Amino acid sequence: MRGLLREADDLHAKIAPDYFRSAPRSDEEWQGLLDEDSGVVFVAEAAGAGGAIAVLVARIYDTPDNPMMVQRRRLHIETVVVCCKHRRRGIGRRLMAEGAAWGRAHGAVEVVLTTWVGNDDAEAFYARLGYRVLSRVLYAPL
């Protein structure tokens, strides 16, 4: 899984170097995610591949307690990556479906995720799954 996450980390560091750097993932980070009730990790393996070929990391979030907001529970896809040699075979689609089912079983009413400008492959993948833009984040350097 570290190699898969390194692919995602390297891509993010390339397209948004002011925000990301490719750094090793610690065992403690993974253990913390596995131990918490609001998070999930799905891993796909293939016979003869010698390990994980895809991973999805997601967490459940509730809308903040704010009288101006409609209360709702969301599944937030934090990371999904499929090894480049195994793409275009439906693996990412299956992981997203499993994540959504898990979220639904934990009371989520929608799935949200973010992509970074320049991650055209991810944008196209999510569009094929029916995702659409909910909001935009704008920034200006100070």
Low-confidence ranges of the chain (pLDDT < 50): none
User: CB of 107 within 8 A of CB of 60?
Assistant: yes
CA 45 from centroid of its chain's CA atoms: 18
What is the predicted pLDDT for the residue at 113?
A: 96
What is the predicted pLDDT for the residue at 142?
A: 94
Q: For residue range 40-80, what is the model confidence (pLDDT) as tens digits? A: 999 999 887 778 899 999 999 999 999 999 999 999 999 99
pTM, entire model: 0.88
Q: Is residue 141 part of a domain?
A: no
What range defines the domain where residue 35 resides? 2-128
Task: Please name which of 74, 91, 33 lies closest in space to residue 57, comparing C-alpha atoms.
Answer: 33
User: Strand 73-82's sheet: what is its strand order?
Assistant: 39-45, 52-62, 73-82, 110-113
Count of domains observed in the chain: 1
Q: Is residue 87 part of a domain?
A: yes
CATH number of the domain encompassing residue 78:
3.40.630.30
